[in-house]
Amino acid sequence: MRPTSSVPAIRLSDYKQPEFWIETVDLHFKLHPTQTRVRSKIVFKGNTDRTDGPHDLRLHGQDLKLLSASINGTALKPDEILLDAEGLTIPADLVPQGGFLWEAEVETNPQANTSLNGLYMSNGMYCTQCEAEGFRKITYYLDRPDVMAVFTVAIDGDAPVLLSNGNNLGDGKWHDPWPKPAYLFALVAGDLVSHDDHFTTMNGREVDLQIFVRPGDEDKCAYAMDSLKRSMRWDETEYGREYDLNLFMIVAVDDFNMGAMENKGLNIFNSKYVLASPETATDRDYELIEGIIAHEYFHNWTGNRITCRDWFQLCLKEGLTVFRDQQFSGDARSHAVNRIENVLQLRARQFREDAGPLAHPVRPTEYIEINNFYTATVYEKGAEVIGMLRTLVGADNYRKALDLYFERHDGQACTIEDWIKTFEDACQMDLSQFALWYAQAGTPRITVTEDFAGDTLTLTFTQTNPDTPGQTDKKPQVVPIRTGFLAADGTEAAPEQTLVLNAGVQSFEINGLLDKPTLSLLRGFSAPVVLDRQITNAERAFLLTHDTDPFNQWESGRAYALNLLQDMVVADAPVDAAFPKAMQAVATNDALDPAFRALVLSLPSEDALAQAIFESGTAPDPDKIYAARQNLAKAVATELAGDLPDLYGALATPGPYTPEADPAGKRSLRGAVLSLISHLEPDCASAKAQFAAADNMTEQLSALATLIRHNQGGDAVQAFYNQWAADRLVIDKWFTVQVSSAPADSAVEVAKALTEHKDFDWKNPNRYRSLVAGFAMMNPAGFHRKDGAGYEFFGDWLIKLDPVNPQTTARMCGGFETWRRYDPARQQMMRAQLQRIADLPNLSKDTAEIVGKILN
């Protein structure tokens, strides 16, 4: 194994409580773009549990200029402070061990901070991002989540709006009464306007709600505000959680490394997940805004009031909060459609991660850079684990356990052990085997055989837990498998059961059956596993028509398509004529939700197909994958030719646009129908007409994508730009749609040309991702082009971004994580790019960790 980085790894097993606690923090900011001064007064208290003293005072600090420091009012001399790149140390003999007042003044340069961690500037506005370890770029501190303190903040600056956490004391002064770790600190200052509203809590307390945006954007906040109010009410009714301050603020910023951040009382959002109008945001954007607003709000209890003891416990807050936001979105929209969308995401991102060199447990045991562990595994698989727990204990016990969790751990920094213990105590059960879900990486694979004799069906399951980097010889996990039994007429031959697997091989008997039923296994995707089952396409078609579980109904259609496409790619099989007929039956079945029908009609992604082909033992050919999907779509379009015009007409949503699930579902099916129609129209007349007539971004963008895919983009691409040149979020879409929909043979040239465009402001993460990730992750055939030009383009841009923004670069390296799937020539070319990056002299530790793992 080559070392992944010269920086030492941090290990869960090395956790120790801090030597000192912090009671209160007073911060004074004198804002300046290049020379911001921060004065801190911090009351430390000795940790009486650490009897191994006396202790030095070790504080984290990065990129800071220390101007002065004192302990209990006595100034420290320069030779009493040992400064290094990660912080400072004051020798124990100068540190009153029981407690003391630390005062310091530092200078920092927000303008030069392109990492977007700590205090930085975005379009003339000051803002912060402190999770995970950004606070140490603001002042010297014990920057670890188990140190919780009460913060008071004073901001001195020219900006009209000066914000921080907690209650507003006026004149740029703020006090947050709730002790919090430093990663939840936030400060914003700028020329902002607010969209205001209010909320009355379940106990009748009035809360002011404010969404701050740049002047001109205030008319795009209504949906975010509505989502916030619905989230607040939902957390009260579903979890009994009431908001705990008199003010809740959200600020939208343009330069942000991720989606949003749950700072106490002052959430900071990527403007993409706040701003929406029908003309500029798609239905998917509205859905994401609703989900992310909810997610960050829900963190107030799961994350802020109860936080993590250390960063290894990240899934404690993230897995649970994702689970909660998924529940909320399911309640707000359609549970079936949401579940399918979530599983599509899980498979596309988390299964991919679990199957590759970056696989890690839901609770990792070591890291070099914690920002690299905000992953699909921690978030999405973490949420699946909570979902399984709920399935196993039942809804009532789940609520009981959550009540106990809030009661027992409010105000604490906790671990996964605390979480599991709460469930064990509330539900009186032993969860030690279940806890393996947190410790073992990799997606379990389940196979099943069926044996029917007399009136008894015997199901025998086998569970395999694959090896992952650094982990072998795994134990069987607890896998709840919701199972239905369908009779030939489509009715349920026996009541649904949840079969709980907890061994490598295990049999279950179902008695009293008249005939051998068709099994509906893993309903609702009740566990994040790969289920390999012997099933014919005819049985899949039967389940697609008859399964009473909508998830499995969809799943049967998807498995059918995947199987067929795989045969088309690997064995040059012709299109199975039964498949387009099955799709026709779903597409024209008005009893089914349009959103659901759209999901059934959308074929498995190129990446999903590549993974399936790789797992079956063949190197996937990206060109053949692309062609097979096109051919199958064409065959479906041909079968449906007579239905498409009527369907397209009937799905129109007349009247003003609303973002609710019903009209959005219709638009989604209509987009799928348009895409089919376009396979039959050489001039793409319908897409051109839709593009010209669209009064909302969903329809405008889906028409544009269709035109570009069929090489008919020209005029529409220019018209779209002219119309939206002033709207940065729409121009992000303009970049993405071109690179993601461009035909494979020209995609890299399109991408290269766009990097020269005057609007390609690559230091802005949204803009960078819109082009570079849009190409590398959303256009597989273009990215994997035989001559390696796609890989080189991607490599060049990772290298360019790393010194500016390591966090986003490291995340983007995931574009190369599947290099081992491909043929030797492609492997060699991707490897060469990875090696080129790994060999850079000043590579960030973020990128070094990820690239090192991908190469190993």
Report how far residue 175's alpha carbon sits from residue 479's, in angstroms, rounded to the nearest whole number.
47
Nearer to Zn ion by Cβ, of 62 and 321: the residue is 321
| Site membership for ligand B3K, residue 57 (CB under 6 A) | no
The residue with tokens 């579903």 is 238
- Work out how close the CB of 374 gets to Zn ion at its nearest, in angstroms, rounded to a whole number: 8
- Work out how close the CB of 87 gets to ligand B3K at its nearest, in angstroms, rounded to a whole number: 20
Nearer to ligand B3K by Cβ, of 367 and 485: the residue is 367
Report how far residue 473's alpha carbon sits from residue 471's, in angstroms, rounded to the nearest whole number.
7
477 contact choice in ligand B3K, Zn ion, none (CB below 5 to 8 Å, kind-dependent): none
Nearer to ligand B3K by Cβ, of 143 and 318: the residue is 318
| Site membership for ligand B3K, residue 182 (CB under 6 A) | no
Residues 138, 261, 564, 843: which binds ligand B3K (CB under 6 A)? 261
The neighbouring-strand residues paired with 213 are 193
What the block records as the tokens of 614 is: 């790789």
Of 224, 350, 194, 372, whose CA–CA distance to 287 is shortest? 224
Burial of 73 (0-12, 13-18, 19+ CB in 10 A): exposed
Length of the chain: 856
Residues 95, 132, 274, 457: which binds ligand B3K (CB under 6 A)? 132
- Work out how close the CB of 183 gets to ligand B3K at its nearest, in angstroms, rounded to a whole number: 8
Nearer to ligand B3K by Cβ, of 304 and 520: the residue is 304
Report how far residue 483's alpha carbon sits from residue 308's, in angstroms, rounded to the nearest whole number.
36
Nearer to ligand B3K by Cβ, of 374 and 434: the residue is 374
- Which residues, 372 to 431, sit near ligand B3K by CB under 6 A? 374
280, 720 Cβ separation under 8 angstroms: no
250 contact choice in ligand B3K, Zn ion, none (CB below 5 to 8 Å, kind-dependent): none
- Work out how close the CB of 291 gets to ligand B3K at its nearest, in angstroms, rounded to a whole number: 11
Site string for Zn ion, 300-339 (x = CB under 5 A): ------------------x--x------------------
- Work out how close the CB of 832 gets to ligand B3K at its nearest, in angstroms, rounded to a whole number: 29
Nearer to ligand B3K by Cβ, of 258 and 389: the residue is 258
Q: Is 102 left (phi over 0), alpha (psi -120 to 50) or beta?
A: beta
Of 759, 775, 762, whose CA–CA distance to 725 is shortest? 759
What the block records as the tokens of 37 is: 């001064």
Nearer to Zn ion by Cβ, of 318 and 699: the residue is 318
Q: Could you say which of 103, 133, 296, 380 is catalytic? A: 296
Look up 756 and say whether it is catalytic: no
The residue with tokens 């599947």 is 818
270 contact choice in Zn ion, ligand B3K, none (CB below 5 to 8 Å, kind-dependent): none
Burial of 69 (0-12, 13-18, 19+ CB in 10 A): buried
Of 791, 595, 806, 627, whose CA–CA distance to 134 is shortest? 806
Of 213, 291, 110, whose CA–CA distance to 728 is shortest? 213
- Torsion angles phi and psi, residue 825, rounded to 5: -65, -45
- Which residues, 283 to 302, sit near ligand B3K by CB under 6 A? 295-296, 299
SS3 content of the chain, % helix, strand, coil (to 5): 45, 20, 35
- Pick the stretch among 255-263, 589-597, 618-626, 673-681 that binds ligand B3K (CB under 6 A): 255-263
What the block records as the tokens of 578 is: 């039964």
What the block records as the tokens of 382 is: 């973490």
- Work out how close the CB of 475 gets to ligand B3K at its nearest, in angstroms, rounded to a whole number: 30
DSSP 8-state assignment for residue 128? E
| Site membership for ligand B3K, residue 255 (CB under 6 A) | no
Nearer to Zn ion by Cβ, of 308 and 772: the residue is 308
| Site membership for ligand B3K, residue 128 (CB under 6 A) | no
- Work out how close the CB of 435 gets to ligand B3K at its nearest, in angstroms, rounded to a whole number: 23
Q: Which amino acid is at 200?
A: T
258 contact choice in Zn ion, ligand B3K, none (CB below 5 to 8 Å, kind-dependent): ligand B3K
User: 495 CB contacts (<8 Å, ≥6 apart)?
Assistant: none
| Site membership for ligand B3K, residue 371 (CB under 6 A) | yes
| Site membership for ligand B3K, residue 250 (CB under 6 A) | no
| Site membership for ligand B3K, residue 318 (CB under 6 A) | yes
Residues touching ligand B3K: how many (CB under 6 A)? 12
609 contact choice in Zn ion, ligand B3K, none (CB below 5 to 8 Å, kind-dependent): none
| Site membership for ligand B3K, residue 176 (CB under 6 A) | no
Beta strands per DSSP E along 82-147: 82-84, 87-90, 99-108, 118-122, 125-129
Report how far residue 589's alpha carbon sits from residue 595's, in angstroms, rounded to the nearest whole number.
12
3-state secondary structure at position 377: helix
What the block records as the tokens of 2 is: 């080559």
Nearer to ligand B3K by Cβ, of 183 and 822: the residue is 183
- Work out how close the CB of 110 gets to ligand B3K at its nearest, in angstroms, rounded to a whole number: 18
Site string for ligand B3K, 474-513 (x = CB under 6 A): ----------------------------------------
| Site membership for ligand B3K, residue 258 (CB under 6 A) | yes
| Site membership for ligand B3K, residue 262 (CB under 6 A) | yes
223, 272 Cβ separation under 8 angstroms: no
179 Cα distance to chain centroid: 27
704, 738 Cβ separation under 8 angstroms: no
Q: Which residues bind Zn ion (CB under 5 A)?
A: 318, 321
Please identify every residue annotated as catalytic: 296
Q: Which residues bind ligand B3K (CB under 6 A)?
A: 131-132, 258, 260-262, 295-296, 299, 318, 371, 374
